[in-house]
Structure 1
Amino acid sequence: MRLRSFRFLWIGQGFANTGDVLYIVALIAVLYQSTGSALYLSLLPFTITIARFVSGMCAPLVLNRFSLKGLLVGSQSIKTVLLGMLGLSLWLFDPSILIILVLVFIIAFLDGWAAPARNAMLPQLVTEDELAKANSFVAVVDQSIQFGGWALGGILVAATSGSFVIWVTFVMYVISTLMMGLIVVRDHRERKTKIHMMSGWRLIWKHPVLRIFHIMIFIEAIANVVWIAAILYIFVEEVLMKSEAWWGYLNACFFIGLIAGGMAVSKYTNWFERYMKETLLATCFAISILTFVFGLISVPVIALMLTMLSGMVEQIKSIAMVTFIQKKCPKDSLPEVFSAQSALISITFGLGSLLYGFLAETISVPFVFALSGVLLVASAFYLLKSMHYLTE
C-alpha cells in the first residue's frame, strides 16, 4: 500500500474535503452577516443534499464515458474555477443569494462524483489484501478532516473573514487538483454501449450481496438521522439538562470514536480480514443496542462514553461493508454501484431528517432513539438471515 498513486489520491482528496468544509463555514458567515436569516442558512445543507442526490443519479452517464482519474481531476478543476468565481464576486460586489446557491449547487453536484469515483478507484491502486487497510486509512483521514475542519474553519473566519477563507479553500482546491493529476491508474473498464441512469440500481437489485447491503444501507440511513445536530441539540437540552456546550462534546466524542474505529481496523487488518463477516454482524447488533440505550440514559458522562463507542462501532461496520462491496462487486461496475449508493443515502437521509424532526417535536427525543434502535436491530437480523450469501 505504499504506491505513490494511492498517496496522491488520499492527499488530493484530503485537500478537497478540507476545502469543502472550509468554504461552507465561510459561506455560513457570509450569508449570516449579509442577511441575518436562519432560513437562508438552512438552504445551504438543503441545496447540497439535493445536488448530491441529482449527481448520484446522473453519475452513470459520465462514469462510463470518462476514466475515473479524468473524472476526479476534471470535476475538481471545475470546482476550483467556480470557487474562484465565487471569491471574485464576493470581493468585487455583493452577489445575490440566488447566485451563491447556484454556485453551491454546481460545486456539490460535481463533488457528488468524487466519493463514488474514489471508492471505485481504490481496488485499482491497492491489492485485494490491502483493501481493508486502505479503506480504514481513508476513513480516518475523512473523519479527521470532518472533526477538525469545522473548528479550523470557525477559527479562520473569526480571525479573518468569510471571503478570506474562500480564497484559502481556492488554494486547497488547486493543490488537490494537482495531486490527483499525478495519479497513475490503469483503467481497463469496458465502456458500455448502452448507458443509463439506472445501471447501478439494476446491478444492485440483481446481485444478491449488493442487494442485501443496500437494503441495510437504506434502513440505516434513516436510523442514523438520529445523530444529526438538531436531534442531539434537543437531547442535550431536554434529556441531559445541560448547556449547548455539551452538544459540542457529544459531536466531538462521536468523531473521536469514528477515528478510533478506523485506526483499530488499520492496526489489526489481518484479524479484521479473517473475521470480517463475523465483525460486520457483531457491529450491526452492537450499534443497535448502543443507539437504543443512548436514548434511555440521562447521565451526561455515560452519554459521552456511549457516543464515542457508537462512533467506533459505526466506523468498523462501515469499513467492513465497503470492503465487502469492493470485493464482491464486478470491478467495472463499482462506479455505478457507488454512485447509486450515494444517491440512495442522500435522498433517504434528507427525507429522514424531516421525519425525525417531526417525531422529535411531536413525540419525544427518546422515542426517535428507540425507533432508530429498532430499525438497526431489524437491519442486523436481516443480515443474519442473509449471511449464507456472503460465504458464496
Structure 2
Amino acid sequence: MKKSFHFLWISQLFANLGDVFYIVGLISILYQASESPFYMALLPFLNMTGRMISSSFAPLVFNHYRLKQLLVISQALKTALLLILAVGSLYTLSLYFMFSIIFAVAFLDGLAQPASTALIPRIVDKSQLLRANGLLSMINESTQLGGWALGGILVAAMNGEIVIWITFILFVLSTLCLLFVIDHTPFERKRNIPKKQQLTEGFQLIWNNHSFRTIHVMIILESIANVVWVAAIMYLFVADVLHVSEAWWGYINTTFFIGLVVGGFICTKYEQFFEKNLKYIVLFSSFAMAIIMILFGFNRVAIVALLLSLFFGVFDQFKGILLGTWLQLKATDDQLIKVYSAQGVLTSMLFGLSTLLAGVFANVFSVQWLFIGAGLLLLLSAIYFSCVQKRFV
C-alpha cells in the first residue's frame, strides 16, 4: 500500500474515534443541561439533516476544490468547532448555540464522507482496492465497536466536557495526517456548467448506468430494512420478544459489529477469491441476510439472537465491500464523487423517513413484524440482484 493510503486510514481512525467520543460527550452534556428526551432526540435528527443538506450541495463544492483540499478544510473546520464547543462547555452554553455547532459539524461530515471514500481509488492501485476497502472497513467497525465502550467509560470516570477535549485532540491529529496524503489526479475547476446540472449529475449517472442503478436499488431497499437495528426498535424487541434486560441490546449490537470486523478480515485475507467470485458472493450474501433477518424476527431466544446478528454482520460486510469496490472500479474519478454525493442524499433521507415510519408501525404492530418485514425487503433486494446479476461481469 502507498504511504498516502496509510496516512488516510490513520486520519480516519482518529476522526472516527473522535466522532464516537463527540456523540458520547454531547449526550452527557445535553442530558445534564436539559434532562429532556426531546433535546436528546434532536441530536440524531440534526446529524441526519446536516449531512443530507451538505450532500445535496456537495457537487457544487467538488467542482471547485480538490478532494484532499476539501478534506483538510472540512476536518480543520470541525476541529475549530470542537475547540469552540470544548471552551464553551467550561461555561454555560445555550442549547441553541450547541445545536448550531452540532448541525455545522454534521454539515461538514456530509462533505467529508464522500470525499474520503472517492479518494481511495486515487491513491491505491486498482489491484489493491478490495484489500484497501476491507482494511478501512475493519478499522471503521473496530473503532465503532471499541469507541462506544471506551467513550462510556471516559464519561463515567470524568465528564462530557473532558471527552469533548479528547475529541478535539483526536481531530487535530486527524487533520495533521491528512496533510501527508498525496493525490496526483489532475484537477480542473468546472465553471460553466449550470448549477442544476451539477446538482443532478450524480443521480443521472446512477440512473443511466445499469450496474450503478442495481447497486443503489439494493442500497435503497437495505436502508429502509436496516432501520430495525436502531436503538428504539431494538429496545422494544429485547424487552417484548426476548424478555431479557436492556443490556442485551448492547450485546446484540456488539456481536453485529464483531460480524462486520470478521467480514472485513475475511475479505482482506481472501481478496483474490472474492474478486473472482464477486457476483456469486454478493448473491449468496443477499439471500443469507434476508433469511437471517426473517429468522431474527421469529426468534425468541436471546443467545440465538446474538448468533444471528453476528452472521448478519459478516454477510452485510461481504456485500458492502464488494459492491463498493465494484463502484470504485467502474466509475471514473470525476463520476465517483458525484455518485457518492447522490448516494449520501438518498441514504440520509430514506433512513430518516424509515425511522419515523418504523416508530409508527411499532405502535400498531408487534415489533417482530418489523423484522420480518425488513427480511422480506432484503429478500426482494436479493431476488432483484439475481435477475440482473449479468450486469456484473
User: What's the Cα RMSD here?
Assistant: 1.0
Alignment partners' CA distance in 1, 2:16 and 2:235: 25
Measure how far apart 1:330 and its partner are: 2.0
Q: Which residue pairs with 2:129 in the alignment? A: 131
Measure how far apart 1:187 and its partner are: 2.1
Measure how far apart 1:190 and its partner are: 4.3
Deviations 1:263-307 (A, max 9, x none): 110111111111111111111111011001110011111111011
Q: Which residue pairs with 1:232 in the alignment? A: 234
Aligned: 1:305 with 2:307: yes
Deviations 1:218-267 (A, max 9, x none): 11100111111111111110111101111111011111111110011011
Count of paired positions: 389
Q: Which residue pairs with 2:207 in the alignment? A: 205
TM-score, normalising length: structure 2: 0.97
TM-score, normalising length: structure 1: 0.97
Matching residue's letter, 1:23: Y
Alignment partners' CA distance in 2, 1:127 and 1:361: 50
Alignment partners' CA distance in 2, 1:197 and 1:242: 48
Q: Which residue pairs with 1:30 in the alignment? A: 29
Q: Which residue pairs with 1:5 in the alignment? A: 4
Q: Does structure 2 retain, via aligned residues, the 8 Å contact 1:209–1:328? A: no
| Structure 1 spans left out of the alignment, 5+ residues | none
Aligned: 1:253 with 2:255: yes
Matching residue's letter, 1:299: V
Q: Which residue pairs with 1:155 in the alignment? A: 153
Measure how far apart 1:191 and its partner are: 3.7
Matching residue's letter, 1:179: C
Alignment partners' CA distance in 1, 2:380 and 2:7: 40
Aligned: 1:367 with 2:369: yes
Q: Does structure 2 retain, via aligned residues, the 8 Å contact 1:190–1:332? A: no
Alignment partners' CA distance in 2, 1:379 and 1:247: 27
Alignment partners' CA distance in 1, 2:124 and 2:79: 28
Alignment partners' CA distance in 2, 1:330 and 1:176: 27
Q: Does structure 2 retain, via aligned residues, the 8 Å contact 1:233–1:247? A: yes
Seq. identity, %: 45
Q: Which residue pairs with 1:172 in the alignment? A: 170
Q: Which residue pairs with 1:345 in the alignment? A: 347
Alignment partners' CA distance in 2, 1:354 and 1:240: 23
More deviation in 353-362 or 182-191? 182-191
Q: Which residue pairs with 2:44 in the alignment? A: 45
Q: Does structure 2 retain, via aligned residues, the 8 Å contact 1:30–1:162? A: yes
Matching residue's letter, 1:319: I
Q: Which residue pairs with 1:69 in the alignment? A: 68
Matching residue within 358, 374, 377 for 2:360: 358
Deviations 1:52-82 (A, max 9, x none): 1111111101111111100110100011111
Matching residue's letter, 2:83: G
Alignment partners' CA distance in 1, 2:107 and 2:211: 28
Deviations 1:294-331 (A, max 9, x none): 10011111111011000111111110110111111122
Q: Does structure 2 retain, via aligned residues, the 8 Å contact 1:67–1:187? A: no
Deviations 1:180-239 (A, max 9, x none): 011011122444341521121111111111111111111110011111111111111011
* Structure 1 counterpart SS, 2:298: coil
Deviations 1:333-355 (A, max 9, x none): 11111111111111101110111
Alignment partners' CA distance in 2, 1:229 and 1:105: 21
Matching residue's letter, 1:364: S
* Structure 2 counterpart SS, 1:81: helix
Alignment partners' CA distance in 2, 1:113 and 1:137: 22
* Structure 2 counterpart SS, 1:187: coil
Deviations 1:118-150 (A, max 9, x none): 111111111111111100100011111111111
Alignment partners' CA distance in 2, 1:358 and 1:345: 20
Q: Does structure 2 retain, via aligned residues, the 8 Å contact 1:218–1:348? A: yes
Q: Does structure 2 retain, via aligned residues, the 8 Å contact 1:136–1:262? A: yes
Aligned runs of 1:208-223 on 2, under 5 Å?
Answer: 208-223=210-225
Aligned runs of 1:279-298 on 2, under 5 Å?
Answer: 279-298=281-300
